[in-house]
Amino acid sequence: MPERDPRRLAAWAAAGVVLALLSAWYLTRSRPAADAAPPPAVATIAAAREPTAEPDAARGARVVVDVSGAVKRPGVYQLTTTDRVEDALERAGGPTRKADLTALNRAAKLEDGRQILVPTRGRPATAAAPPASGSGGGTGAAPSGPINLNTATLEQLDTLDGVGPATAQKIIEYREQHDGFKTVDELDQVSGIGEKRLATLREKVTV
């Protein structure tokens, strides 16, 4: 058997090593990139997208205001301290066509117990102040002179003998629907006021 040349064997071995290295390099280059990191949990995404709840303090405390005068639905409404006079007017159905809004600050913030009196064009408005702090929660004493049926507030009408809050509200609604009272005798057209009650009120009211 012929003797093998050691130099030739070494050359073949070196060639094999080079071939193995080239194969390993090729496999490394052709291997796909590592999988991307998994997306964040669905719950985490949902929590990130969910809007932050508004603190209760930002909504403002509740207030009760009396909206009367030239509005479509006069009455007492609950709103918040962050609301404005304009919001109270909207709750009352909005102003009537004969309402005079020039003397009304519709951007003012609301205060608890405030009366918002919307005057009628051509008639003087009676300013209504917020309730005084301290003792006393009633409507106060009756005015010393006759009450003007066309400008009186619900509280002022309520001080008249035989006129409660419900009848006072009807008087306000009547004057808005009929563009005010022309005479005191028109009171007998208001539901709840008859001849006897009108006789007791005639000297206590005016137009």
Asked whether residue 36 is assigned to any structural domain, the reply reads no
For the stretch 115-125, pLDDT in tens is: 898 888 776 55
Under 8 Å between Cβ of 156 and 143: yes
* Residue numbers of the domain that contains 184: 144-207
Are 63 and 122 in a shared domain? Answer: yes
Regarding whether 121 and 151 lie in a shared domain, the answer is: no
Element (H, E) at 201: helix 195-201
Q: How far apart are the first and last CA of the chain?
A: 144
Q: Which one, of 98, 143, 140, lies nearest residue 118 by Cα?
A: 98
The answer to whether position 193 is within a domain reads: yes
pLDDT tens-digit map of 17-62: 778 787 777 777 766 555 555 555 555 555 556 555 454 555 679 9
Percent of the chain exceeding pLDDT 70 equals 72
pLDDT band at 78 (very low <50, low <70, confident <90, very high): very high
DSSP H or E stretch at residue 176: helix 165-177
Residue 159 lies in a domain: yes
Q: Tokens 């009396």 correspond to what residue?
A: 66
Averaged pLDDT, 1-14: 70
Q: Are residues 111 and 170 in the same domain?
A: no
Measured CA to CA, the distance from residue 91 to residue 87 in angstroms comes to: 6
Domain-embedded: residue 124: yes
Question: How would you classify residue 14: left for phi > 0, otherwise alpha for psi between -120 and 50, otherwise beta?
Answer: alpha
- Which stretches of the chain are assigned E, i.e. beta strand? 62-69, 75-80, 115-118, 147-148, 205-206
Average pLDDT over residues 199-203: 84
pLDDT tens string 156-184 = 888 888 788 888 888 888 888 888 888 88
The CA R_g of the chain, rounded to the nearest whole Å, is 42
Instruction: Decide: 113 and 64 in contact? Cβ < 8 Å.
Output: yes
CATH number for the domain spanning 181: value is 1.10.150.320
Alpha-carbon separation of residue 58 from 89, 112, 161 (angstroms): 22, 17, 44
